[in-house]
Amino acid sequence: MPMEGRKSPEVRWYVTKSQHSPLPFREKLTKAGLEYFLPTRFVIQNVAGRRLRVERPVIFNFVFVRGTIFQVKDFCRANLGLHLVYRRRYIDEKENNEEKMVLAVSDAEMSMFARTIGEYNQEVPFIKPSEVDLEKGDHVRILEGAFAGVEGVLMSQQGKDGGRVLVSLSNVIAVPTLEIEPEYLQIISFAPSGKHMYKKFDSFMAKARKAIFHHLEGKTEKRDIVALTTFEKRFSELQTHTVNSQVKLLVYLLVCYTCLGDSQRQSAIENQLVALLPQVKSDSFKALALTYLYACMRNKTYFDDAQAIVDRWGEIGDKEKTKREIAADLFSFCSL
C-alpha cells in the first residue's frame, strides 16, 4: 500500500532497448504480466546457403513496455541485455527523479504510433526526429480514413495542403503516414516559424464576405456552403498565438456557423468574441469583430460600437485598405 499522501507511480509506456535481438524478451514479458509493443516482420534471408523466412523486429532493437517505472526497471534488472532508455537532457543535468529521467510515452501517443506502423505492409520508413525540423511543420489531426484521430506534423505537402504526416514518438523515432488527402486534415496549430498563417486566413476573407452577403440577401449559394464547410472542418480546432489572429479566426467561424445555420455554435463564438474584445488593442481588429458581430447577430449595439471606431478614423487614406473595407462592409450590412 502506498504511504498516505504519496503519489502512486504512474502506469506508462517505457522505452527499452536490447543489446541484440529483442525477440527473446517477448515470452519473458508475457510471463511477467507486462504489456509490450514489439512489432515484427518476416524477410527471406540466405542462411547457410538456404533461403529461409526469418522474423525481424520492425523498430530496430526497441521494445516498448507498459507498467510502472518500478515494474519495468525490475524487469530490466532481472533480464540482462534489456535496458531503459534515458532522456539525454536529464542525464546532462544529473536529474535524480527516475520517472523524469527515463523515456516514457503516453497511451494516446503509443496508440497513434502503433496504428501508423500497422498500416504499412512493407518496410516502415523510420526517421530520426533530429533529421527533420519539426518546427517547420504544421501540427495536424487526421479526421478520416485509416489514420483517423492520429496527430502529427505535416512534413510534406501536395495539392492544397495534403501530404504525409510525421508521427513522432517522444522525440526518439518517427514514422510518416501514407499520403493523406487535404480534406482529411485538421490544423491544430501552425508552425511557429511559418509566415503562412495570415495568408491562409486572408485567402478565406473574400469567400467569407461573399457568403455573409449572400446569406443576408437570402440567396446562399452551393459554393458558399462548400467553402464554409471546408474552412470550419479544417480550422475549427486551430490554436492561435496572438489576440489578433484569434479575432480573425473567430470572425470567420462566426460567419461559418451563421451561414450554415448552426445557432448553438454561432452563439458560442459570439460569446468568445465579446469576451476577447477588451484584450484587442488594434482599432482595426476591434472594428472588424464588431462589424461581423453585427452582420451575423443583427444586434444594433455592435453596429453602434463599430461605427464609433470608424468615426474616430475620420478620412481614410488610399493606402488604408483594411479600414476602408471594414467601413464599407459596416455600411453595406446596415443597408441589408
Instruction: Note the pLDDT tens digit of each residue in 242-269.
Output: 899 899 999 999 999 999 999 999 999 9
Residue 106 phi, psi (nearest 5) = -75, 160
Position of cell 530496430?
60
Q: Which of the four pLDDT bands, split at 50, 70 and 90, describes residue 141?
A: confident
Residue 328 has pLDDT above 80, yes or no: yes
Average pLDDT over residues 311-316: 91
Q: Distance between CA 171 and CA 128 in Å, rounded?
A: 8
Residue 75 has pLDDT above 70, yes or no: yes
Residue 6 has pLDDT above 50, yes or no: no
pLDDT of residue 132: 59
Q: Distance between CA 150 and CA 172 in Å, rounded?
A: 18
Angle at 201 between CA 197 and CA 203, to 5 degrees: 115
Taking only the tens place, the pLDDT of each residue in 36-74 is: 999 888 877 787 788 888 888 888 888 999 999 999 999
Average pLDDT over residues 287-296: 97
Give the list of residues 6+ apart from residue 38 with CB closer than 8 angstroms, or none.
Answer: 22, 23, 25, 26, 57, 59, 63, 64
Residue 33 has pLDDT above 90, yes or no: yes
Q: Distance between CA 166 and CA 152 in Å, rounded?
A: 5
Closest to 330 measured CA to CA, from 301, 297, 288, 299: 288
Q: Distance between CA 216 and CA 296 in Å, rounded?
A: 9
Position of cell 504499412?
120
b/e for 218-242, b at 16 or more Cβ within 10 A? Answer: eebeeebeebbebbbbbbbebebee
Average pLDDT over residues 211-229: 94
pLDDT of residue 60: 80
* 3 state SS for the chain: CCCCCCCCCCCEEEEEEECCCCCCHHHHHHHCCCEEECCEEEEEEEECCEEEEEEEECCCCEEEEEECHHHHHHHHHHCCCEEECECHHHHHHCCCCHHHHECEECHHHHHHHHHHHHCCCCCCCCECHHHCCHHHCCEEEECCCCCCCCEEEECCCECCCEECEEEEECCCEEEECCCECHHHEEEEECCCCCCCHHHHHHHHHHHHHHHHHHHHCCCCCHHHHHHHHHHHHHHCCCCCCCHHHHHHHHHHHHHHHHHHCCHHHHHHHHHHHHHHHHHCCCHHHHHHHHHHHHHHHCCHHHHHHHHHHHHHHCCCCCCCHHHHHHHHHHHHHHHC
Under DSSP, the state recorded for 2 is P
